[in-house]
């Protein structure tokens, strides 16, 4: 089970926040940022529990009535917007109940938590409606925001929050977590590389058998080219995969980005993701060559939206890769 302690190893900013919450030194508003799947929502829920916990000892105990109701979302002093998961934006209307509740005392007389997940989806009007509460907080109310990416929150809102970036999960932690959920070692290792530090992504990729097929296909086509002579064969294998085009391009893009970051000295060495690929050639490619390939992949995404045939798009990309990624000979 994931607890607040599980987050103590997730970088200084996160562990400092947890210590401050536990010792009561925390500011009244905090914003957890970071990419999707790194655990912002889980951390936010656990912090909410810590504020609403009525148990003895270290908070949250996750066993008392306060914790249990905070976890299942039925605590009367845990305020969340009424916008559904699927709604694209959180509007002022969705915040009315919260703003009304904030004008009154906490129902149970203890702490009160306003939990705003995906706060980047709040319209500017909704954010402005919140500002007054953020500017003049009452002593027992805490605001916990989560936001994907670094944009989306108004500077006026950000400046009133303690902004804590939740870093990507370390690969080893993702592997451990996947294996605890039944993945074998090889699969756990592969997914931990592909998911880019997002446990959520790793879990959903694991459930998706077609994703793994797409991965294998990319490996045996785009990443196995030894020369332009291999292009027609690879192109033929991609011919019927028009329906998977978006996923294929996203897998290729992510993998190329990994090699590029490594070539620029800005990322860890990518692991080989299959037996067949020309991994060494990619590892020895220059940043310039990898940038050219990356631009080509992104351009393919744009063509896909037009009427150009998938096969033509795939073949063009294959040729560019065969020109840029020179077969490496030790
Ligand atoms: Zn508790």
Kindly report, residue by residue over 52-62, the tens digit of the pLDDT.
999 998 999 99
Residue whose pair of structure tokens reads 């077969």 in the numeric block: 327
Find the 62 Cα to ligand 1 centroid distance in Å.
5
Q: Which two tokens stand for residue 286?
A: 């220059």
Find the 19 Cα to ligand 1 centroid distance in Å.
16
Decide if pLDDT at 87 tops 90. Answer: no
Find the 95 Cα to ligand 1 centroid distance in Å.
27
Calpha distance 172→193 (Å, rounded): 10
Calpha distance 23→18 (Å, rounded): 9
pLDDT band at 150 (very low <50, low <70, confident <90, very high): low
CA distances from 14 to 42, 71, 188 (A): 13, 20, 25
This prediction has a pTM of 0.67
pLDDT band at 328 (very low <50, low <70, confident <90, very high): confident
Which has more confidence, 194 or 108? 108
Find the 166 Cα to ligand 1 centroid distance in Å.
24
Find the 75 Cα to ligand 1 centroid distance in Å.
12
Amino acid 274: pLDDT? 64
Calpha distance 16→9 (Å, rounded): 11
Over residues 186-202, the mean pLDDT reads: 82
Find the 135 Cα to ligand 1 centroid distance in Å.
29
Find the 70 Cα to ligand 1 centroid distance in Å.
9
Find the 111 Cα to ligand 1 centroid distance in Å.
13
Amino acid 215: pLDDT? 83
- CB 80 within 8 Å of CB 117: yes
Find the 4 Cα to ligand 1 centroid distance in Å.
12
5-18 pLDDT, tens per residue?
Answer: 989 988 999 999 99
Which has more confidence, 183 or 87? 183
Nearest to 95 by CA among 77, 119, 75: 119
- Give the chain's mean pLDDT: 89
Find the 144 Cα to ligand 1 centroid distance in Å.
18
Find the 61 Cα to ligand 1 centroid distance in Å.
4
Over residues 106-117, the mean pLDDT reads: 92
Complete DSSP assignment for 155-185: HHHHTTSEEEE-PPPPHHHHHHHHHHTT--H
Find the 114 Cα to ligand 1 centroid distance in Å.
18
190-204, 207-221, 268-282: which has the minimum mean pLDDT? 268-282
Complete DSSP assignment for 98-157: HHHHHTS--TTSS-EEEEETTGGGB-HHHHHHHHHHHHS--TTEEEEEEEESS-SS-HHH
Give yes or no for a cis peptide into 60 (omega within 30° of 0). yes
- CB 321 within 8 Å of CB 293: yes
Find the 168 Cα to ligand 1 centroid distance in Å.
28
Say which CATH topology domain 4-165 has. Rossmann fold (3.40.50)
Q: Which residues contact 149 (CB under 8 A, 6 or more apart)?
A: 33, 35, 120
Find the 65 Cα to ligand 1 centroid distance in Å.
7
Calpha distance 143→137 (Å, rounded): 9
Over residues 201-215, the mean pLDDT reads: 83
Over residues 171-186, the mean pLDDT reads: 88
Q: Which residues contact 111 (CB under 8 A, 6 or more apart)?
A: 51, 52, 77, 140, 141, 142
* Domain limits, the chain: 4-165, 208-324
Amino acid 327: pLDDT? 84
Decide if pLDDT at 189 tops 70. Answer: yes
Find the 22 Cα to ligand 1 centroid distance in Å.
12
Find the 57 Cα to ligand 1 centroid distance in Å.
9
* Residue 272 C-alpha from the chain's centroid: 23
């Amino acid at each position: 089970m994931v607890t607040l302690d599980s987050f103590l190893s997730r970088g200084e900013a996160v562990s400092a926040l947890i210590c401050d919450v536990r010792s009561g030194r925390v500011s009244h508003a905090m914003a957890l940022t970071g990419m999707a799947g790194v655990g912002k929502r889980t951390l936010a829920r656990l912090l909410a529990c810590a504020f609403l916990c009525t148990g003895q000892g270290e908070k949250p105990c996750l066993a008392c009535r306060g914790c249990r109701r905070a976890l299942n979302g039925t605590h009367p002093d845990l305020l969340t917007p009424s916008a559904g998961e699927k709604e694209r934006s959180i509007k002022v209307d969705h915040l009315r109940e919260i703003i009304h509740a904030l004008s009154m005392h906490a129902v149970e007389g203890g702490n009160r938590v306003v939990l705003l997940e995906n706060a980047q989806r709040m319209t500017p009007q909704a954010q402005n409606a919140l500002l007054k509460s953020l500017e003049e907080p009452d002593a027992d109310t805490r605001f916990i925001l989560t936001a994907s990416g670094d944009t989306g929150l108004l500077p006026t809102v950000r400046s009133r929050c303690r902004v804590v970036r939740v870093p990507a999960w370390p690969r080893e932690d993702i592997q451990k977590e996947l294996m605890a959920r039944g993945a074998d070692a090889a699969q756990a290792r592969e997914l931990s590389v592909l998911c880019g530090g997002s446990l959520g992504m790793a879990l959903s990729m694991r459930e998706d058998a077609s994703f793994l097929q797409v991965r294998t296909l990319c490996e045996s086509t785009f990443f196995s080219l030894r020369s332009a002579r291999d292009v027609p064969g690879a192109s033929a294998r991609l011919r019927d995969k028009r329906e998977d085009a978006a996923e294929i391009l996203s897998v290729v893009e992510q993998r190329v980005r990994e090699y590029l970051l490594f070539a620029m000295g800005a990322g860890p060495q990518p692991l080989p993701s299959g037996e067949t690929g020309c991994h060494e050639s990619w590892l020895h490619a220059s940043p310039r060559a990898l940038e050219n390939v990356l631009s080509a992949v992104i351009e393919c995404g744009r063509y896909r939206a037009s009427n150009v045939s998938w096969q033509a798009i795939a073949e063009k990309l294959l040729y560019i890769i065969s020109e840029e990624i020179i077969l490496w000979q030790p």
